[in-house]
Amino acid sequence: MYVAVKGGEKAIRNAHKLMAKRRRGDTSVPSLTLEQIAQQLSHAVARVMGEGSLYDETLAALAIKQARGDLIEAAFLMRAYRTTLPRFGYSQPIDTAKTLVERRVSATYKDLPGGQVLGPTFDYSHRLLDFALAAEEDGLEKPAETARVEDDSMPRVTDLLGDEGLMEPDPVTDEDAPVGDLTREPLSFPADRDLRLQNLARGDEGFLLALAYSTQRGYGRTHPFAGEIRYGEVEVEFFAEELGFAVTLGTIKVTECQMVNQFKGSAKTAPTFTRGYGLVFGQVERKAMSMAMVDRSMRWQELGEEPSAPAQDVEFVLSHSDNIQATGFVEHLKLPHYVDFQAELDLVRRMRGEWFEKRRQEEEEGSAAQEAAE
């Protein structure tokens, strides 16, 4: 009822209470613990950390619990929390070649230094509902046999290609060049690759997936190969001015995807392979791959390609990738708009009045002309 829209104080209070009750559900069922969520819903936790732009498994688990499993809402909670955190500085770039790899696959080489490590994956499993899981007892099955990679070195596939000159070199940047940070400076265009990658890393998995998919279906083809996907733990270091050297803050789990794309070359550049790059928190391979494909698509300008597709349109992609922004603006349509609607009502009524009046006049003129003709 209309009146209920106004006078919200009490309604809001009660809505919050009801929401809390619904969130908890049937109280005879035990409440979820954050450990359970962090351990058993790790993909959800990873997604919330990535899109929420804050690496903390416990907080992400809390956000998921509070958001009743709505992962975009959970990412939003993380973002709103991270806003308030003080910022000490920027870490050193992580070295993914030193990842403690749990999974590493390449679709371009059958075997390669360091080997292929299948690791935990849904790939190659039959998607049959496992009814045994419904009655799962506590306790573990026999642990899987994991072959520890003896050889420490696990060079990136792109580096192997680079040694042969087949891969475009990584762009050389000045060590002291400032890093773009769209949480500190508003995004402006044209946006350099550092900002683009940051935007994609925070972007919505579904949006990037659809864009990447569109490039495979002909909307801006990039001929991608999954050069390498690796997942594992990597150290984060911070250069402490007071000490004069970098100290390790801890480790994070990341998925890195290096797409290898064909490039025919141009007048200035010999034919070579080009890179698309994806890096996300946790094991989120779908997004890392999508990110790499969209990154490559957006590089059309520097590589002298013709733009033709949505995935190549930097302003379009970067302006709409953030699901926290998107969900806020779409859902704000739930807010009352009756002042503007009133103005539109008035306009439509007036325009309808004019339309009917005009038609009436035309009919009169028509019949008058007919009478005159008779």
Partner 1 sequence: MNDTAQIFEQGEYNFAYLDEQTKRMIRRAILKGIAIPGYQVPFASREMPMPYGWGTGGVQVTAAILGKDDCLKMIDQGSDDTTNAVSLRGFFEKTAGVRTTYETSEASVIQTRHRIPEKALREDQIIVFQVPIPEPLRFLEPRETETRKMHALEDYGLMHVKLYEDIAKNGHIATTYAYPVKVNDRYVMDPSPTPKFDNPKIDQMAALQLYGAGREKRIYAIPPYTKVKSLDFEDYPFEVQKFDKPCGLCGAENVYLDEVILDDKGGRMFVCSDSDYCEERRADGHLGPMAADPAAHQFGATQAEETAR
Rank residues 3 and 243 by Cβ distance to partner 1 and give the closer one: 3
* CB of 86 vs partner 1, minimal distance in Å: 7
* CB of 328 vs partner 1, minimal distance in Å: 3
Q: Which residues contact 250 (CB under 8 A, 6 or more apart)?
A: 235, 236
Helical (H) or strand (E) element with 264: none
* CB of 312 vs partner 1, minimal distance in Å: 14
Closest CA to 213 of 279, 294, 274, 318: 294
* CB of 186 vs partner 1, minimal distance in Å: 4
Residues that bind partner 1 (CB under 8 A): 2-3, 5-9, 11-13, 16, 76, 79-80, 82-84, 86, 183-190, 315, 319, 324-325, 327-332, 335-340, 342-347, 351, 354
Find the angle CA(195)-CA(198)-CA(201) to the nearest 5 degrees: 150
* CB of 4 vs partner 1, minimal distance in Å: 9
Asked if residue 87 lies in contact with residue 53, where contact means CB atoms within 8 angstroms, the answer is no
* CB of 349 vs partner 1, minimal distance in Å: 11
Closest CA to 224 of 293, 146, 284: 293
Rank residues 11 and 247 by Cβ distance to partner 1 and give the closer one: 11
Rank residues 138 and 192 by Cβ distance to partner 1 and give the closer one: 192
* CB of 340 vs partner 1, minimal distance in Å: 4
Rank residues 260 and 324 by Cβ distance to partner 1 and give the closer one: 324
Cα dihedral value 95, 101, 105, 109, nearest 10 = 70
Beta-bridged to residue 281, according to DSSP, are: 254
Rank residues 40 and 325 by Cβ distance to partner 1 and give the closer one: 325
Q: Which residues contact 17 (CB under 8 A, 6 or more apart)?
A: none
Rank residues 175 and 331 by Cβ distance to partner 1 and give the closer one: 331
Tell me the CA distances in angstroms from 217 to 112, 210, 222, 223, 261, one per residue in order.
30, 11, 10, 11, 16
Rank residues 200 and 259 by Cβ distance to partner 1 and give the closer one: 200
* CB of 48 vs partner 1, minimal distance in Å: 14
Rank residues 343 and 369 by Cβ distance to partner 1 and give the closer one: 343
* CA separation for the pair 287, 206 (Å, rounded): 8
* CB of 343 vs partner 1, minimal distance in Å: 4
Q: Considering Cα of 301, then 304, then 306, then 308, what sign does the dihedral take?
A: negative
Q: First-to-last CA distance in the chain?
A: 58
* CA separation for the pair 22, 255 (Å, rounded): 35
Beta-bridged to residue 273, according to DSSP, are: 167, 262
What are the strands of the beta sheet with 272-281, ordered from one edge? 100-105, 224-240, 245-263, 272-281
Helical (H) or strand (E) element with 235: strand 224-240
* CB of 182 vs partner 1, minimal distance in Å: 8
Asked if residue 113 lies in contact with residue 202, where contact means CB atoms within 8 angstroms, the answer is no
Rank residues 12 and 134 by Cβ distance to partner 1 and give the closer one: 12
Rank residues 173 and 342 by Cβ distance to partner 1 and give the closer one: 342
